[in-house]
């Protein structure tokens, strides 16, 4: 569920929804600045913005968090250190599907490892619960690729907790569990 | 955990929350609730557990199943896993204002399908301050494979 949608009326709709546009900009502009030379992710972010414009949903936080979840997948796939750094809080706690516990630095090192080559990372069945300045996201992630020379394929349930700091959402906790053990 | 005992803990945690607006007070309250959760599980005390959880609770079980509050409580009530003992350890509580995240390890013993089991896992629980009480809104468990 990468939210890649296109709409030629995007600019018009954003003008009609200045609140949505300005709030979205806080999160997205930081990422875009880092990734403007990365055309794939830039297109993705633009698409995510289009999704906001199309939704017409008053609960824009949910839409923003969906977009950021997908941006995370894209950044992981592209091994984009700058994007990951912006999406993840400095005090992130990350529990991997094998039960290992990592901080932000360890997690980013594992994701950016040259021996890891994810071919596909897809999130689906996502649900967001917003509680004021924080939100919890549940979903299923399917990932495959090559790790240390061996092919891998996993399907896991994830729970991510996001916190809004200075109008920017950042992930502070993430845990994955293999489905079916 | 008997309901009376849990009530005492809840009252204490509420008082602690009121008296200690700082992070240390919040940590203390949440740690007490985590232990109350363990004891309520061992006693299959559904009423006590219900008081700890927000109605929007989502629980991810060790096999990746997603359970709502009602489904989780029903499972505890049915006691199909015959849980005998649960121990949580290495808990770390991070407080972000009215939100807190607890990461820790757990060890659970019981009998399932006639066979004894011992599981080790990692959990992440998310708590919010609702009025004067901390309540859990999300919990995830993952087996430790290495």
pLDDT at A121: 95
What is the extent of the structural domain holding B75? 3-143
C-alpha pair distances (Å), A127 with each of A1, A72, A161: 12, 16, 12
Full pLDDT tens readout for chain B, 146 residues: 455 566 656 655 655 555 445 789 999 999 999 999 999 999 999 999 999 999 999 999 999 999 999 999 999 988 776 888 999 999 999 999 999 999 999 999 998 888 899 999 999 999 999 999 999 999 999 999 86
Look at residue A35 and tell me whether its pLDDT is greater than 70. no
Number of domains in chain B: 1
Burial class (CB in 10 A: 0-12, 13-18, 19+), A145: middle
Residue in A closest to B59 by C-alpha: A159
Q: Indicate the average pLDDT of chain A.
A: 78
Interchain CB contact of B4 with A (< 8 Å)? no
pLDDT at B4: 53
Rounded Cα gap, residues A23 and A53, in angstroms = 12
C-alpha pair distances (Å), B111 with each of A73, B79, B115, B117: 39, 10, 5, 6
pLDDT at B5: 60
Interchain CB contact of B68 with A (< 8 Å)? no
Look at residue A107 and tell me whether its pLDDT is greater than 80. yes
C-alpha pair distances (Å), B62 with each of A28, B15, B140: 34, 33, 8
Contact yes or no for A60/A52 (Cβ under 8 A): yes
Which domains, from first to last, does chain A contain? 10-178 (3.10.450.50)
For residue B34, the surrounding DSSP H or E stretch is: helix B23-42
pLDDT digits (tens, 9 = 90+) for B36-58: 999 999 999 999 999 999 999 99
Residue A8 binned pLDDT confidence (cut-offs 50, 70, 90):
very low
CB contact under 8 A, B140 and A95: yes
ipTM: 0.84
Rounded Cα gap, residues A136 and B58, in angstroms = 9
Q: Give the global pTM.
A: 0.79
Residues of A in CB contact (< 8 Å) with B are 91, 93, 95-101, 127, 129, 131-134, 136, 138, 156-157, 159, 161, 163, 172-173, 175-181
CATH code for the domain of B115: 3.10.450.50
Q: Among B120, B122, B128, whose Cβ lies nearest the Cβ of A95?
A: B122
- How far is B141 from chain A, CA to nearest CA, in Å? 7
pLDDT digits (tens, 9 = 90+) for A114-170: 999 999 999 999 999 999 899 999 999 999 999 999 999 999 999 999 999 888 999
């Amino acid at each position: 569920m990468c939210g890649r949608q296109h709409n030629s009326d995007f600019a018009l709709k954003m003008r009609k929804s200045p609140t949505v546009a300005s709030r979205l900009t806080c999160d997205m502009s930081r990422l875009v600045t880092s990734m403007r030379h990365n055309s794939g992710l830039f297109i993705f972010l633009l698409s995510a913005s289009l999704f906001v414009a199309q939704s017409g949903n008053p609960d824009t936080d949910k839409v923003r968090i969906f977009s950021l979840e997908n941006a995370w997948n894209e950044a992981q796939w592209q091994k984009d250190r700058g994007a990951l750094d912006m999406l993840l809080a400095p005090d992130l706690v990350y529990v991997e599907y094998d039960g290992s516990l990592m901080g932000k630095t360890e997690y980013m090192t594992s994701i950016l490892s040259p021996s890891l080559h994810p071919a596909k990372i897809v999130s689906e069945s996502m649900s967001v619960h917003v509680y004021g300045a924080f939100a919890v996201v549940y979903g299923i992630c399917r990932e495959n690729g090559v790790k240390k020379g061996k092919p891998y394929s996993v399907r896991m349930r994830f729970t991510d907790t996001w916190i809004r700091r200075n109008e920017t959402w950042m992930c502070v906790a993430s845990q994955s569990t293999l489905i079916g053990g | 955990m008997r309901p009376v005992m849990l009530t005492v803990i809840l009252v204490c945690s509420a008082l602690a929350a009121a008296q200690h607006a700082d992070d240390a007070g919040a940590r203390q309250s949440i740690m007490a609730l985590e232990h109350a959760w363990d004891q309520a599980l061992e006693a299959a005390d559904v009423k006590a557990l219900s008081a700890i959880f927000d109605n929007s609770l989502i629980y991810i079980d060790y096999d990746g199943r997603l359970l709502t509050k009602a489904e989780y409580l029903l499972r505890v009530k049915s006691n199909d896993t015959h849980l005998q003992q649960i121990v949580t350890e290495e808990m770390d509580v991070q407080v972000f204002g009215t939100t807190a995240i607890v990461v820790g390890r757990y060890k659970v013993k019981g009998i399932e399908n006639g066979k004894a089991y011992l599981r080790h896992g990692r959990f992440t629980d998310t708590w919010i301050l609702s009025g004067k009480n901390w309540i859990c809104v999300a919990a995830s468990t993952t087996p430790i494979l290495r």
